[in-house]
Amino acid sequence: MASGYLITGGLHLDGLMDTFDGIFAGKKKRLKAMKDSKVGSFGVQSLVFITLIQIGCILKIQNQIIIVLPICLFWGRFSNLFFIEKFKYLSYKKKSISHKKFWNGFKKESLISIILLCIFIAYQLFSFTSQAILIKFLILILIGVFLSYSIPNILGNIIGGFNGDACGASVVLVETAMLFMYAILL
């Protein structure tokens, strides 16, 4: 977990905290709270809860973390493709650059990710020795699709669009939900 925080500079966690501060600030103060450089109580609480859930899941998964973590990271980042495709960009300031400025549509943006996912699925289909493990794996793939679509959808509807903070929150929430699902099913 710490290495992920160091690599990203805590960017996604900052987005998580700002998003939760904005959600609980109310509709009129939402963007102002998300823009504020100070972290509020709901942001701190979200960070603590997410961190505890992730630690618990990692302790449960243990040796399988090498296989599980890349899958969770994949779905977390893939969720932003749904976010950007479906919602309008919310800006704190007038001269902000939107993710949509260079957006080529969901099909083009997700093509490489989907190809890599298909290669991974094909590899797993041929390497599993147990039918029960294969069924769990396929269920987890479907759960990944569901979570990477539904979490940004929920956030986007609550916030009224997306921005960098909401994208970071989506990444963290999807990763954590996938870790949780792996911890339950494995």
Give the dihedral of Cα atoms 61, 67, 68, 71; nearest 10 deg: 180
Please list, in sequence order, all residues whose beta carbon lies within 8 angstroms of the beta carbon of residue 135, skipping any fewer than 6 positions away: none
**What token pair was written down for 146?**
């569901």
At CA 137, angle to CA 136 and CA 139, rounded to 5? 65
What pLDDT score does 37 carry? Answer: 83
What pLDDT score does 98 carry? Answer: 62
What pLDDT score does 21 carry? Answer: 92
Please list, in sequence order, all residues whose beta carbon lies within 8 angstroms of the beta carbon of residue 133, skipping any fewer than 6 positions away: none
What pLDDT score does 105 carry? Answer: 87
What pLDDT score does 95 carry? Answer: 57
What pLDDT score does 97 carry? Answer: 61
Mean pLDDT by 10 residues, the chain (186 residues): 84 92 89 86 95 94 86 92 89 64 87 90 79 82 94 94 91 96 89
